[in-house]
Homo-oligomer: A and B are copies of this chain.
Amino acid sequence: MFTVRVQAGDFDIAIEQANLVAGSNDIGAIVAFTGLCRDEANTLASLELEHYPGMAEEEMGRVLAEARNRWPLDGATLIHRYGKIEPGGNIVLVITASRHRTAAFAAAEFLMDYLKSRAPFWKKEHRIDGTSGAWVDAKEADDRALERWKS
């Protein structure tokens, strides 16, 4: 099963994994990436995630189609949240299922690299002191991460 969802509410990784493999006996490997709201400096009240409704789902679908072209996946689930998310909260979930672990690992990492730089989401910081912080800057590291898939 292949699923793409954009939602405000939280997700449960156990339920998503169970749905992904339900009825299948030939999946040997599942890789699940969870991206969390991080607050190293202890100044963050929440991250607010803005998104482009419609395009977010479409772009995630295109990235997933590209992953399926490259690796033999038996299933995948992509969930991205929007709205305000507190430190420690879930932001994104990518699950890949395959007969073998190498494909599941590679596809999950590819999906995350591409979601980061192609899915239309933007993070704004809200601080504990009540001020609205800056928009999070896109990282050069994320663009560099893309380069390795282009060989």
Residue of B nearest to A91 (CB): B28
Majority secondary structure of chain A interface residues (helix, strand, loop or mixed): mixed
- In the complex the two chains form, is A25's CB within 8 Å of B42's CB? yes
Interface stretch, picked from A10-18, A51-59, A63-71, is A10-18
Q: Please, which residues of chain B bring their CB within 8 A of the CB of A32?
A: 13, 30-34
- In the complex the two chains form, is B13's CB within 8 Å of A39's CB? no
- Please tell me how many copies of the chain the complex holds: 2
Partner of A33, one of B27, B29, B145: B29
A14-B13, A145-B102 known; A30+B21 contact, CB < 8 A: no
Residue of B nearest to A40 (CB): B26
- A84-118 residues with Cβ-Cβ distance < 8 A to B are 87-88, 99, 101-102, 104-105, 108-109, 112
Interface residues on A, range: 20 to 34
Cα distance, A17 to B12, chains bound together (Å): 11
Q: How far is the CB of A148 from chain B (nearest CB, A)?
A: 10
